[in-house]
A and B are shown apart, each in its own frame.
Chain A
């Protein structure tokens, strides 16, 4: 079983839609939860991180962590064509230096 499961998509939505991206995980030791965005031919770029459970909002982006269900989500409001990219969830243990990545979900936002 993979430590982190993420639906690779692709996910195609119209401009302005609310996008929901999700990951599940199996390692209960994970405490740091991150979302990266990766454009084609570029490296991943950290979007948001959350420590333990709860919500975090940054502009049009909201990250949610439910540790009891081992489930994390990223919501994108008012999606724009420029949001078209691959979104990777990522996790790490406290004091850990390595990040465990999901497979990434390809998102297409159509104008």
Chain B
């Protein structure tokens, strides 16, 4: 079974530009999560999809971040315009059942650097 795939693996953009991160979850996993780790900080929850619906987006930092999951398959996370503090590693995870104890599978992350 293919794992959670994220791309790009790295992205370096200038402040003010737009970047779109993509996550392909494990096939059949209805639950998809985005997390982020900024330098020196903990991994923090951004949002949770169940199929194509946003279940919880309480962790989204501000309205420069937009997540979508059209058709309940892959998801994108767009940052527009990017700011320096958006630099960090963005992780996507998916699970078949709801809730973290059923075993998230994380992707390897997208390392975003805003210069």
What is the size category of the interface that chain B forms with chain A?
20 to 34
- CB-CB under 8 A from A51, the residues of chain B are 101
- CB within 8 Å of A: which of B80-115? 91, 93, 98-101, 103-109
Contact indicator B42/A97 (Cβ below 8 Å): no
Q: Is residue B75 within 8 Å, beta carbon to beta carbon, of the partner chain?
A: no
Q: Is residue A98 within 8 Å, beta carbon to beta carbon, of the partner chain?
A: yes
For the complex, what is the distance from the CA of A92 to the CA of B33, rounded to whole Å? 14
Q: How many A-B residue pairs have CB under 8 A?
A: 66
- CB-CB under 8 A from B103, the residues of chain A are 46
Question: Smallest distance from the beta carbon of B91 to chain A beta carbons, Å?
Answer: 6
Most buried by A among B42, B56, B98: B42
Interchain CB contact (< 8 A) of B108 among A41, A88, A95, A104: A41
Measured CB to CB, the nearest residue on chain A to B45 is A98
Contact indicator B41/A92 (Cβ below 8 Å): no
For the complex, what is the distance from the CA of A32 to the CA of B106, rounded to whole Å? 18
Q: What are 17 A-B residue pairs whose CB atoms fall within 8 Å in the complex?
A: A32-B100, A34-B101, A43-B93, A43-B107, A43-B109, A44-B43, A44-B91, A44-B104, A45-B106, A51-B101, A92-B100, A95-B99, A97-B55, A98-B58, A98-B100, A101-B43, A102-B42
Q: Which residues of B contact A (CB under 8 A)?
A: 4, 31, 33, 35, 41-45, 48, 55-56, 58-59, 91, 93, 98-101, 103-109
